[in-house]
Amino acid sequence: MKLDDLLGEYYELEQQLADPAVHADQSQARTLSKRYSQLTPVIAAYRELMQVESDLETARELSSEDSAFADEARQLEKSREELTERLHHLLIPRDPADEKNIIMEVKAGEGGEESALFAGDLVRMYLRYAERQGWKTEVLNSTASELGGYKDITIAFKNKGTPEPGEGVWPQLKFEGGVHRVQRVPVTESQGRIHTSAAGVLVVPEVEEVEVEIHDNDLRIDVFRSSGPGGQSVNTTDSAVRITHLPSGLVVACQNEKSQLQNKEQAMRILRSRLYAEAQASADAEAEAERKSQVRTVDRSERVRTYNFPENRISDHRVGYKAYNLDQVLDGSLDGVLRALIDADTKERLEQAES
């Protein structure tokens, strides 16, 4: 969309939101407010750029009389370049899920206890990164392994307030999905040999009930007894819930909570998000086929990353990122590898927007 069109939309939204009648419909008011907040950074950058352009013109006119204005003009030229670049990036078509929270699932792969321990390492890495970002996290379901890892675990990551464009949970973590491979000497290895195992990560945006329509007739709900460590209800009552979405074949099970109702609510949160993600993936695939463009640089379905402990090396195979700070990455310092992925995606979006 052109900048002039966005300006017109922004001013129209201002008028609508100033009308008390609009706020009588809370759903409409929320929709308008959300779009207004999305456009605000764009308009703010544009207004700042226009002010700098005006100041620059004045400084250039006065530079012949006073050399101090020549210095100011050079600074303003630099500011103009920076603002132009920022505005260019803000105008890149945004992912519609940018402001959403996420649900992340981490599952141990083949490799037994070592794979489960690696899954636990990944979980701690993401939780520490979330803590640094000020995000809230909530474990929705988990199955622990005997040595303290995870056979599988599902976690909700929640934004802190309304994030700036590109700064929320989904933009930062959406490329983490895929197969993560580890190379190290397992704690269960007595001969000191390096083994390779893997864990799978699934990342989907969390959606509201109104965003995904699920009919009761499309669900098969089974209850069973929870297993593993837990409270008094574990292994004594049928509190665990397994939901099968018949049209898609998706199956979600939850057992962490003490009641069937709570486990059902958690399972439905996960199911809604999975169905939304599948629908988005299908729509993206159709749009990609119509454009006949290349496969995206950042593919969330492939083997994505290798964690090599002997060399303290982390490698992301999608964008050729490599660094020798694995210990810091596992402690939550994910900025480098995440920035490489985001930059690759931004570059591609820019190329598509300009084509």
Share of the chain above pLDDT 70, in %: 89
- 36 with 74: CB under 8 angstroms? no
**Dist. CA 101–CA 45, nearest whole Å:** 26
pLDDT digits (tens, 9 = 90+) for 160-205: 887 777 789 999 999 999 999 999 998 877 788 888 899 999 999 8
Contact 249, 184 (CB under 8 A): no
SS3 142: strand
CB atoms within 10 A of CB 225: 13
Whether pLDDT at 230 is above 60: no
Instruction: Give residue-wise pLDDT tens across range 22-76.
Output: 999 888 888 899 888 888 989 999 999 999 999 999 999 998 888 889 999 999 9
**pLDDT of the residue at 288:** 53
